[in-house]
Amino acid sequence: MNDAYRTYLRLKKEYHNLITDSDLRWIIEECANCTYSKLLTEETLSLNETKLKFLLNETKSGKPLAYTLGYCKFLGMTLKVNEHTLIPRNETEELVVLTLQKLKGFSAIKFVDVGTGSGNIALALEQNLPNSIEGYAIDISSKALAVAKMNAEKYQSHIQFILGDALTPLLNLNKKFNLIISNPPYIAKGSFVEPSVDLFEPHEALYAEDNGLAILNKIIKMAPKVVDEHFVIALEISPEQTDALKSIIFQTFMDVEYEFVKDMNGFIRFLFIRK
């Protein structure tokens, strides 16, 4: 057993109420400059003790580790994040994977990612879809778009990034899309969220008016103006919004299929609308 792994086991006991195991493992990997498999198997690994102390103190304070390090992992990509972008979650990885499954049978896909943030969803789609695609990513924050563009440059992306609200920038493009995807702000104002999330992550990307439905409502209501004859709309949502979203769908579309899907934790987290 190497010294880095011994330190990990010791800190796991010491900080079990203060730092999640996944964050602690990430800290050790970062300070030992290794992967978790190497942490388990290498005979000798040294730790950057100064960096270790800094990262432990920052994380204990409640600051998300991804912001301290300036990056996160998302479906095999390493993406820059900062205080202007949400930190991508596992649930959003699920959204992308499920969406890719829903797109089977589609060709020449044109997609738009609404509220792109760090660009994680749009870039993951581009990485995992055939070459015959055209991608757009929209965000209301110019500072978030600046981060997304840096991530796109790293992965030599051809996605077009647009500043704007919901689907508004697309209305005059005279283009039809067969995928609209979004992890929009959907938390109702006044709802409980983890203190570290509320304190550090951008509120405009978390909270929405009308019980968290304001942006979801905009996306669904505007969708008929920009979707192709056959399409998928994939949205990340809050579990208590299902009835309201059904009502919005019925007000907007005449003949579509819709499905609410649970996430890995058993909560309804995704809405798919398909025609």
Read off the CATH number of the domain in which 86 is found.
3.40.50.150
In a domain, 66, yes or no: no
Q: Are residues 89 and 145 in the same domain?
A: yes
pTM above 0.75, yes or no: yes
Q: Are residues 150 and 241 in the same domain?
A: yes
List CB contacts of 158: < 8 A, sequence separation 6 or more: 126, 135
Rounding to the nearest 10 degrees, give the CA dihedral for residues 160, 111, 113, 245.
150
Is the Cβ–Cβ distance between 205 and 260 less than 8 Å? no
Element (H or E) spanning 224, and its range?
Answer: none
Q: Are residues 57 and 185 in the same domain?
A: no
Phi then psi for residue 274, to 5 deg, are -140, 145
Q: Are residues 38 and 9 in the same domain?
A: yes
Name the β-bridge partners of 181: 113, 234
Flag residues of the chain having pLDDT under 70: none
Q: Are residues 51 and 172 in the same domain?
A: no
Distance, CA of 80 to chain centre: 12
Query: Residue with structure tokens 């990509």?
Result: 77
Q: Are residues 108 and 238 in the same domain?
A: yes
Q: Are residues 110 and 26 in the same domain?
A: no
Q: Which residues of 231-241 are buried (b: 16+ CB within 10 A; e: fewer)?
A: bbbbbbbbeeb
- How many CB atoms lie under 10 A from the CB of residue 265? 9
- How many CB atoms lie under 10 A from the CB of residue 209? 12
- Crossing angle of helices 242-252/214-222, nearest 10°? 20
Distance, CA of 271 to chain centre: 15
Nearest alpha-carbon partner for 236 in 222, 215, 211, 209 = 215
In a domain, 247, yes or no: yes
Tokens standing for 204? 């405009």
* Interstrand relation of 227-236 and 268-274 (parallel, antiparallel or unpaired): antiparallel
Distance, CA of 33 to chain centre: 25
Q: Are residues 82 and 169 in the same domain?
A: yes
Q: How many separate domains does the chain show? A: 2
Q: Are residues 88 and 44 in the same domain?
A: no
Per residue in 187-224, pLDDT (tens digit) is 999 888 888 899 999 999 999 999 999 999 999 999 99
Q: Are residues 111 and 177 in the same domain?
A: yes
Phi then psi for residue 212, to 5 deg, are 85, 5
| Strand residues in the chain grouped as ranges (E) | 71-74, 77-80, 110-114, 134-139, 160-163, 177-182, 187-188, 207-208, 227-236, 257-262, 268-274
Domain region containing 43: 3-61
